[in-house]
Structure 1
Amino acid sequence: MIQVEPGFKTGEEDTAIAIGLRKNDNRISQINASIETISKDDQVALMDRMIKEQPAEATTTEETSSSFFSQVAKILSENWQQLLRGAGITLLISIVGTIIGLIIGLAIGVFRTAPLSENKVIYGLQKLVGWVLNVYIEIFRGTPMIVQSMVIYYGTAQAFGINLDRTLAAIFIVSINTGAYMTEIVRGGILAVDKGQFEAATALGMTHNQTMRKIVLPQVVRNILPATGNEFVINIKDTSVLNVISVVELYFSGNTVATQTYQYFQTFTIIAVIYFVLTFTVTRILRFIERRMDMDTYTTGANQMQTEDLK
């Protein structure tokens, strides 16, 4: 077996080559024999040469800081397109996954708060579907997304022979994971609506679906906006676990750059800053939307009060 001692720092012009061989492959002995043809004197000469060619270490804080920022700038200048594509895929998966998850949450939330039918067949179906939905919610809330990704992506390929597109698989995974959380958020939002509004709608002859669509859900969407925004921010960060199925999102792109440059600290400092910029920007936009909705609600309420006063 070939044993390799600690090596040297390498520049961009150096190339690392690895040869993968099976255990007990006959070519291993041939490779070892070729290496042994290098004399001890030649080995020492090569070592001395490499030691002399090593770059001088930074000796002061200023030199270290300057070197760090110059390396960061170089990584950005050479790999900004790759990192930008990764950030774009991260945003795409997060946005689409959150929207679909919200739709799933609204649909299941409405179903779970619907009154049970007096018809025995429909009643039985409601109970069965409710049980299935509860199982879905508990499983996806009780297991990590990284495990869900492995099971869904590789499981479908192994069990059904279906090779999913990685990006579509990622959107599907994030959507159903978000849907499980949004279901409980929506259910809480529906239950928070005053019961008097349900009674008033029933007195007016409105069905449950009409009550939900015209009275309850508009209030629920407004009330759950902060929680939905929080889920969106979480999804931006949690897409990093999708690298286990080789989705080329921001973390995967950053890890690829770090592997190529051997500058992990500098590269992931850039990745951390990009994640922060994304989440901070999204948070500020959502807060702006919340304030505007509050202002619209206040203005609408004030206009209604003025109209009533005129009457």
Structure 2
Amino acid sequence: MLPRENDSEVTEFMLVGLTNNPTLQTLLFITFFLIYLIALVGNLGMVLVILLDSRLHSPMYFFLSSLSLADFGYSSAVTPKVMAGLLTGANVISYNHCAAQFFFAAFAITESNLLVAMAYDRYAAVCKPLHYTTTMTLNVCTALSIGSYAIAFLDVSIHTGNIFRLSFCRSNVIDHFFCDAPSLLPLSCSDRYITELVIYLIVSFNTVFSLMVILMSYILVFATILRMRSSEGRQKAFSTCASHLTAVSILYGIITFMYLQPSSSHSMGTDKIASVFNAIVIPMLNPLIYSLRNKEVKNAFLKVVGKAKSFIKFTF
């Protein structure tokens, strides 16, 4: 721990990280590098494929491209610093950089909001097919997407300002691999009751409200699907919803585990494992979930690859 006076303010923090074992650090660096590479290529590739293929210019893929951009920011907010720490052993993080890392939560909330918008899109497509084109217009999709980002960044601005108004003078050692509220708050020498209450209310509202909208949408969707006479139509509708439900289950499962359990139940070991999935692995999963289960995305990807090969051959 950096030497300082007992009551002096912290100007930088030290991250304990995941392990001090050099061999494990190397293995984790390689693993996280591959995950990060897949996340970058998968998410930016998804945006590019959707942008270039006119057959994918529909509300569902519009939201999927927005989700991929959120995942790109999500993975880039924390993972590079974690990899640098594993590679160089540099575990010191400045006060401002620590505050900036909290904005990974903005991309997490954005993803949550976009999943709600996608659930509404599936409801409109399955339950109100005749009105779908007039309901999910480009203006509506744009407003929902921009609103998802705006609400998320507003929430996290309040969340971050609320935490960093506290005084940190007990210690500067964060028992985590990045700056996160549950690991940072115990270092404060201020009364943190209000801060913890605000965090709990923000996370609870976002999680409960989002899950309620998604649940209500899918109750109506499944009720409509079960009334379909065509087995092929039911199978196609279920297939379309399966990817979205998988992404919802993974994201909200981890968020609930990390933030909505009592502080007395927190174990830093299990929190670190959950955080690895939340901050590093989840951004990689969505492009895999949606692309591997979607023939239209696969065909569009192959089309883009074919054009790229033709261009390279023509050029050289």
TM-score, normalization by structure 1: 0.27
Greater relative contact order, per chain length (Cα 8 Å cut-off, separation 6+): 2
**TM score, norm. by length of structure 2:** 0.27
